A and B are shown apart, each in its own frame.
Chain A
Amino acid sequence: MYKILSKRRLSAQICEYVVEAPEVARAAKVGQFIVLRLHEKGERIPLTIVEADPVTGGVTIVVQEVGKSTREMGDHFHAGESVLDFVGPLGVPSEIENYGTVICVGGGLGIAPLYPIACALREAGNTVIGIIGARTRDLLFYMDRMEDACDEIHVMTDDGSIGRKGFTSDPLREILSSDRPTDRVWAIGPAIMMKVCAEVTREFAVPTTVSLNSIMIDGTGMCGGCRVEVGREAKFACVDGPEFDGHEVNFDLLMARQQFYVEEERCALDRYLKSQSKGVEQ
């Protein structure tokens, strides 16, 4: 059992948790993830490590409530309580170097995994330009943290409720088109956002790293369920990634594979919501 040391709601659908896992905290590196399981009947869900404190043994994760398991976590797993399994660190760490100037693009929940990368890049001596975006103001989180982590920040919302109206790829294109040199781009967010960003950076031939969130089970290379195509070759996102060269990734395949269980996911969520409303009536 792994105790939840603290929990903080960042938006209507997003919570930040600090979970006590000293061995994970000691070994964790930027860009790696964990797999957790809430209870005996739970599925194994992969989540990125946002921060790890070897002193307190706390591992910070940020969870967006998109389906049954993440909803259940948000509704029922509070500070002081425990999750059954918490395993990591998994995956290959980010390649942090002094590249020069790096643009870090984070969309939606992708801002959580992007934040530690931006910090590490800055520490390695890079000039870091942050571009963060969400559908609307209420969904945007970590704005203050990203402001601290980056030398410059651009905020975008689809509806213009905060920052500029538009997509994260807009300022990306503007900066790349300007005469400021950019040495590298990190783009993390929904598959479609990463695809669009990678298409933009391809035009300017700027190397681009993306982080792929394919459906996983074990997260350790044993099932092949997470496979993605990179440079026409099958790779396992959990052990060969999750970060890959964005110009080589077959995003259409990634998106198709993410959709494979939509019916089952809907069924699980409906069943869960029904059980919750019954619980209230009783």
Chain B
Amino acid sequence: MIQKHETPMRQQDPKVRIGNFGEVPLGYAEEEAVREAERCLQCPNAPCVEGCPVRIDVPLFIKHIKNRCFAEAIATIKEENSLPAVCGRVCPQENQCQGVCTLGERFEPVAIGKLERFCADWEAEHGCISTEIQTDTGYRIAIIGAGPAGLTAAGELRKLGHDVTIFELLHVAGGVLMYGIPEFRLPKEIVKREISALERTGIKIKVNKVIGQIYTVDDFLVRDYDAVFIGTGAGLPRFLGIPGENLNGVYSANEFLTRTNLMRAFRFPEYDTPIKVGRRTITVGGGNVAMDSARTALRLGAKESIIVYRRSEQELPARREEVEHAKEEGIEFRLLTNPTRIISENGYLKEMECIRMKLGEPDESGRRRPIPTPDSEFTIEMDTVVVAIGNNPHPLVPRTTKGLDLNRWGNIVADSKTGQTSKEGVFAGGDIVTGAATVIEAMGAGKRAAVAIDRYLKTKR
């Protein structure tokens, strides 16, 4: 008899967790992991592998868990994925490996992500699996941006014996994993742990290096490097373009989350960077970034945290689990609602004027297009606003690299199989190419580019 539901993971009580920044799900114990692993059907066609952008051998690692061979399980995962502790926590599994799991046709799919997380955490506790590095090739590669795309490309290239240096503009590596995704979802210690493991393989990471200002891609190619990979992400916050948006108390999600996660403003004044949250925060948007911001606002002391989103619940782009967690914590959803104006009084935010929306025909994204209902404006009182409606590509590198083709949104044009750009020796992948997407897709792109770079170096005279 197969257990119909996935083995639940213990988690912090919602009432308690909104008062701290500790991680919400607490992980599986060995017994729980084995019990969940037993649910896997070991399908010969393994659709779950196809569903994973880096093609982890899911049935094999799950079989190892079932047999309590945890070291073999993590080794299997690490053959394809160098950041399993991260992916196990933040992958939108319902659209990927778990979305196509055979068991999911009748029952709940196997909790592949939770099992992956279990293996990574098991490794952290029991010593690490060493990575095999091939003999040095003498080729040097510069990687720009230490987000998931850059880190993965670096890891794969290093395994092949190349000399790899990552250049990162912030004072720490990790990209969105460090400055964007909050502590309660992805503890920073875990990101640091995975990055140290990469550094131990011989990858050099240089922080505080703003490429485009200090060096250009051309400098790299002319001087010391045989190839360049660009993984600079989609870090430029978008705003609504409505009146009142530059008032004090209106944050972009990037600023709100960077102050909190990277600069640790939740521990002000012990840490020097402040953040200010009033009684009632409105977050505009419906993706992971919006969920993270709304939940962060609660933890920073807001009594009420409201999400305003212009489509309906069905279209919310956030991971299912994040929406559930947000609801458990008491986040209020005002759906089919779009802001039109932000109003202040005596220098303080007072209310947001919104308009009601209804859904029309599907648009290019396949989701039904929201249409404003005439004369349906109303206001919601608030004192803090976080705008989480997406990011544009970071322009510094594209703008300063000659001969790099961009699309009309400013993303770098790159071959989806190889990451090859219009410029010889220059490859790109992750959010800078696709626009804001997911950690695992960025990693997949980094990995494919590493294979292509290796091939390029070996055919180059």
Contact = CB atoms under 8 A, between A and B. Distances in A.
Interface of A: 23-24, 27, 37, 41-44, 68-69, 84-90, 217-218, 220-225, 227-229, 234, 239, 253, 256-257, 259-261, 264-265, 267-268, 271
Contact of A260 (B179, B263, B276): B276
A276 B209 CA distance: 34
Nearest to B233: A222
B375 interface: no
A231 B258 CA distance: 28
Given A24-B214, A86-B208, A229-B246, A220 B272 contact: no
B259 interface: yes
Contacts of A24: 214
Given A41-B272, A87-B169, A222-B254, A217 B248 contact: no
Interface stretch (B46-54, B235-243, B402-410, B420-428): B235-243
B394 A256 contact: no
A222 B210 CA distance: 12
A43 B272 contact: yes
Given A260-B276, A268-B269, A44 B248 contact: no
Interface of A is mostly: mixed
Contact of B347 (A69, A218, A256, A271): A256
B394 A217 contact: no
B269 A87 contact: no
Contacts of B273: 43-44, 217
B213 A27 contact: yes
Interface string B186-220: 00000000000000000000011110011100000
Contacts of A264: 268-269, 274, 276
A223 B273 CA distance: 14
A197 B192 CA distance: 49
B4 to A, nearest CB: 45
Interface of B is mostly: loop
B343 interface: no
B263 A257 contact: no
Ordered nearest first, which 6 A-B pairs have the shortest CB separation?
Answer: A264-B274, A223-B255, A87-B208, A43-B272, A224-B252, A43-B273
Contacts of B264: 41
Contacts of A43: 263, 271-273
A271 B268 CA distance: 11
A222 B236 contact: yes
19 contacts: A23-B214, A41-B271, A43-B272, A43-B273, A85-B171, A85-B207, A87-B169, A87-B209, A89-B213, A217-B263, A221-B235, A221-B395, A222-B179, A222-B236, A223-B259, A239-B396, A257-B246, A264-B276, A268-B269
Interface residues on B, range: 35 or more
A257 to B, nearest CB: 6
B79 to A, nearest CB: 34
Given A43-B272, A221-B395, A85 B347 contact: no
B213 A88 contact: yes
Contacts of B396: 220-221, 239
Interface in B98-117: none
A226 to B, nearest CB: 9
B254 A223 contact: yes
B339 to A, nearest CB: 16
A93 B187 CA distance: 39
Nearest to A86: B208
B214 A89 contact: yes
A68 B276 contact: no
B388 to A, nearest CB: 12
A41 B401 CA distance: 35
B361 interface: no
B374 to A, nearest CB: 27
A223 B272 contact: no
Contacts of A37: 171
B318 to A, nearest CB: 21
A41 to B, nearest CB: 5
B345 interface: no
A221 B239 CA distance: 13
A43 B267 CA distance: 12
A253 B246 contact: yes
A217 B245 contact: no
A85 B208 contact: yes
A217 B171 contact: no
Interface in B253-290: 254-255, 258-259, 263-264, 268-274, 276
